[in-house]
Structure 1
């Protein structure tokens, strides 16, 4: 990945907010750019996240402000609604194609991943044709003077190497507990949770707009 830009060093909060914006731009385009309430729900959701966090509105606002100063987030206004919305600029600031952007998004939200895990977890962001395509994208992200990802050393008992992003510190990888749910079941569950979170966000936005009109 060739780039004349220096990679920003992001805090854990910045990583979560930026990753959430990238994710929702692909998975829920009808609700993107995102409102503050929607972004808060996306950051705090219990699926597709490691670690699980509970950010309040103040943390989200401060983090958005710092990301805006770094040129990675911008605001969108206009139309009949009064709600300010937010979008990411990572794919504008850096020459990233959708496949590469999806990999960075997953690494920001889920931590260290193998190529196989990236292939499994990317379905709703970008549909890779094969594991080889994932590997090819990872190699491109490792190239250049300012690579976006690196390989972690194998731990005892690990068969596959794991990759992490280079946009800031990443929590040390902790193996997730085993689950009886298969991939299809997990994707259905994640989709259902995401739908409920969107509906809750819409209700919050509608309530805030109503209160503003009444005040």
Structure 2
């Protein structure tokens, strides 16, 4: 009997994607605090759509992911931290976790986009290696990924995750050339990754500073 997939909200999907991304790109600040997870979720780069989640919404999403078996809380003397469990919970190898994380963060993408954007997270041999893992995700029962029909102006197939339920093709339609050079997209991704690293480090420093401040006096 097939194990049903967890049905995630948009907030939960964004936070899970952030945990996957930051484990790979900023391991020194992983597992993430709530503040770091909020900063990652609200990044203006490498996110589609851009969100504006408050700390309460992020913490609620983290707790729901924990209840679904997709995240785990780590206790420390400074602040509560969270790590994802997508690999064990969903039975995925690392390249598949990385592809799923990118789809959670940026919506439907082509294999070439995923290859360029995964450069700092997981090394794929080539575009065929990416497609191989996407096919494995799509052939699962139930599937984690689906291949979308091409829309106007598209010359490459796009892939989308199914953790938030069936995908509306109309809602994800785009009108751009998907055959842009991989090198150009890799340059864009490198800049996004540097910005993301700085944002995570700032969030971590803010958390540490707050832990050093004396508690406010009771009124």
Q: TM-score normalised to the size of structure 1?
A: 0.89
- Equivalent residues of 1:17, 1:39 under 8 A apart: yes
The answer for the alignment partner of 1:50 in structure 2 is 48
| From 17, 39, 47, the counterpart of 2:37 | 39
Q: C-alpha separation between the residues in 1 aligned to 2:214 and 2:173?
A: 45
1:95 maps onto 2:94 in alignment: no
Q: How does 1:1-215 map to 2 (within 5 A)?
A: 4-78=2-76, 81-169=77-165, 172-173=171-172, 175=174, 182-211=184-213
Relative distance call for 1:103 and 1:191 in structure 2 (3 A) is: closer
Q: CA deviation at 1:58?
A: 1.1
Deviation of 1:63 after TM superposition, in Å, equals 1.0
Distance 1:192 1:9 in 2: 31
CA–CA separation in structure 1 for the residues paired with 2:147 and 2:13: 19
Structure 1, unaligned stretches of length 5 or more?
Answer: none
Q: Distance in 2 between matches of 1:144 and 1:185?
A: 33
Q: Secondary structure at the match of 1:47?
A: coil
Report the TM-score, using the length of structure 2 for normalisation.
0.87
Which of structure 1's runs of 4+ aligned residues deviate more than 4 A? 176-179, 212-215
RMSD across aligned positions (CA) = 2.3
Distance of aligned partners of 1:8 and 1:212 in 2 relative to their CA distance in 1, 3 Å threshold = farther
Q: Can you list the C-alpha shifts for 1:153-211, whole angstroms capped at 9, x where unaligned?
A: 111221111110110155732548899x9335423422331232123212211222013
Q: Distance in 2 between matches of 1:195 and 1:20?
A: 12
1:4-45 CA-to-partner distances (Å, cap 9, x unmatched) read 432111110000000000110111111110111111100011
Structure 2 gap ranges (5+)? none
Contact 1:50 1:110 (C-alpha < 8 Å) held by counterparts? yes
Higher relative contact order (CA 8 A, sep 6+): 1
